[in-house]
Structure 1
């Protein structure tokens, strides 16, 4: 089953390289093009304007995107994860006032929870502070890496801690039009340049009660981590599937690679089955997070091995800039998966120390 029209897939294939390598109008327009396909309604209840479905459908949708452009899949993951967070918030503000525009991609959801993940794992301090001033609260700090921070209309979700108060950190979502909230120029990446990734700074932003997503960041993130991390598998699944399909095209003259190809296919199928089984059981990965972490580490290895097989299968012809296979773009995209938060190293650290 395809989630996207043939016309959109042709567009994505035609522009995948420029979206991967350049900031600008194609990257800026991509989220709305994906939204126009109804992609962000998948997994959202029909009563809220969605098309229904479950977490597996979201993963499969992201996997289809990743077969054509990891940038498209990555921005969709961040956006769809943001939507998931506001759907599970006790505060209805963003559901009531922004959900319709998020479903179309008119507003971009910028998920900036990597700092929070590291904080909860005792790997770093929170980057944003809530400070009491003049009878109210203000936000100070800087988020160094936030995707979907478009030049217009985005909302970023993150965790901030209180300065000088013994209170748990809050999960907040701040719209881009807030005063004293600033965006840097796009960060310069090897790949995924069209993802509107920038640093965000808070220079005394007045805290609005409507922005509260959760009063207990640790409890909220643990409850929502299965989808946050589970949806991310779609990026890896799509990249591995596309890479292995390219290997299969060459097996008739590269039969020496067949055993490795089959082993990768089997491992990919195992990870997929275990992920879907865990996601469809409402609290399984909440209660067994280590299993989810290990699957995330395993899929990174599968992608790396698949790309190496694709290079060997394609031979020298895959290494030309003018090659039509898209291998070099996928090779660069694949280098991103071990470091996207939570990174493979962070997950290994957690598994070793807990």
Structure 2
């Protein structure tokens, strides 16, 4: 049975209003005071930003509207765009699963933005790639699993929110544990959230350290058991949607360069990269992303490699665009209130968020072998 929220088109006029007015007025507070833009996140939900990609594998899913909505947020604020990605990805996990309980009781709230949440998959994705050990471990009990461990960073997470994650379970007679993927409700007994990070940017992302002490996870909240085939199905969308963050900040950095062309163009013309150069790369990247967005449930290695390459290009071009935006703006962009220095700090996040640049290159190399 395929239960999913009704497909709704994104109200891009409302996304534009929220981004250009409400969010733009909060950007400095988000960056300097680390406030979480809850009002904006819920407003995006009302505008349909989190719904367009949730009809499930049995239908023709296109990620383009979700990516473009995220990109518009990223033009103003990377912290908010990342939270949008977290919300989108939480819905993506549930919609991609066979779990009718979650599709009925949780997914509609996530799609509307009435329940906010994130993705606790940074550690599991690295564990799958043999980069670090799995942080959570589960034991089978009647009706579900008992899970314990600590996730250092889960973003877009409030006390009543949800997040997806994965844990290991030892199997009798097997050398390796199995992986189980699930949705966790932050309000469950044994779950403790602690805001605990000191990043140079991205402070307004409600990023928590999540401690789980023998938390009971009922079978109704399990996405996949075992999770290996499910991960292969959902990972292209997981990675590709991050390109929305890259696209938005690249576009804004081009605009920052163009804004100083009048007063500084006579000397900026000697810089190695001009706005036109970055725009040509941006246009090519966005066209590739929009093409890939049409078939997010393609599980072939060839498709996934193209997704990884687009995501890698997005991260690298974001850093390059922000670098040259800072050079073009000069000292006026290097003051504490300057947009260029903030965008440079934010751009590096695109390059290091899981899967980071080195992780992407590792995955691409393995697929090429």
Please say which of residues 256-265 and 118-127 is displaced more in the overlay. 256-265
Q: Which residue of 1 aligns with 2:285?
A: 271
| 1:275 CA drift (Å) | 2.2
Using a 3 Å threshold, how does the CA distance of structure 1 residues 36 and 283 change in structure 2: closer, same or farther?
closer
Q: Give me the whole-angstrom Cα distance separating, in 2, the residues matched to 1:135 and 1:245.
A: 55
What stretches of structure 1 of length at least 5 have no aligned partner?
47-51
Contact 1:128–1:142 (CA under 8 A) maintained in structure 2: yes
The Cα offsets for residues 134-157 of structure 1, whole Å up to 9 and x where unpaired, read as 89631111111100121x321111
Q: Which residue of 1 aligns with 2:197?
A: 187
Contact 1:23–1:186 (CA under 8 A) maintained in structure 2: no
Q: Which residue of 2 aligns with 1:335?
A: 348
Q: Give me the whole-angstrom Cα distance separating, in 2, the residues matched to 1:133 and 1:97.
A: 23
| 1:198 CA drift (Å) | 0.9
* Structure 2 residue 114 is the aligned partner of structure 1 residue 106: yes
Q: Which residue of 1 aligns with 2:129?
A: 121
* Structure 2 residue 327 is the aligned partner of structure 1 residue 312: yes
The Cα offsets for residues 175-225 of structure 1, whole Å up to 9 and x where unpaired, read as 112111111234222111111101111111123111101123221111111
The partner residue of 1:155 within 159, 162, 178 is: 162
Please say which of residues 129-138 and 100-109 is displaced more in the overlay. 129-138
The partner residue of 2:314 within 281, 284, 299 is: 299
Q: How does 1:1-354 map to 2 (within 5 A)?
A: 2=13, 4-6=15-17, 9-24=20-35, 26-45=36-55, 54-132=62-140, 137-150=145-158, 152-165=159-172, 166=174, 168-252=178-262, 253=265, 254-257=268-271, 260-284=274-298, 286-288=300-302, 289-323=304-338, 326-353=339-366, 354=369
| 1:105 CA drift (Å) | 1.9
| 1:122 CA drift (Å) | 1.6
The Cα offsets for residues 272-330 of structure 1, whole Å up to 9 and x where unpaired, read as 2222222213554643222222222222221111112111211211112244xx22221
Contact 1:28–1:196 (CA under 8 A) maintained in structure 2: no
TM-score normalised according to structure 2 size: 0.86
Using a 3 Å threshold, how does the CA distance of structure 1 residues 100 and 315 change in structure 2: closer, same or farther?
same
Q: Give me the whole-angstrom Cα distance separating, in 1, the residues matched to 2:325 and 2:143.
A: 61
What stretches of structure 2 of length at least 5 have no aligned partner?
1-11
| 1:249 CA drift (Å) | 2.4
Q: CA RMSD in A?
A: 2.4
Using a 3 Å threshold, how does the CA distance of structure 1 residues 173 and 257 change in structure 2: closer, same or farther?
same
Using a 3 Å threshold, how does the CA distance of structure 1 residues 29 and 249 change in structure 2: closer, same or farther?
closer
Using a 3 Å threshold, how does the CA distance of structure 1 residues 7 and 112 change in structure 2: closer, same or farther?
closer
Please say which of residues 63-72 and 122-131 is displaced more in the overlay. 122-131
Q: Give me the whole-angstrom Cα distance separating, in 2, the residues matched to 1:186 and 1:96.
A: 33
Contact 1:90–1:213 (CA under 8 A) maintained in structure 2: yes
Q: Give me the whole-angstrom Cα distance separating, in 1, the residues matched to 2:171 and 2:298.
A: 37
The Cα offsets for residues 229-252 of structure 1, whole Å up to 9 and x where unpaired, read as 111000010000000111122335
Q: Give me the whole-angstrom Cα distance separating, in 1, the residues matched to 2:234 and 2:250.
A: 26
Q: Give me the whole-angstrom Cα distance separating, in 2, the residues matched to 1:329 and 1:263.
A: 22
Q: Give me the whole-angstrom Cα distance separating, in 2, the residues matched to 1:23 and 1:250.
A: 28
TM-score normalised according to structure 1 size: 0.89
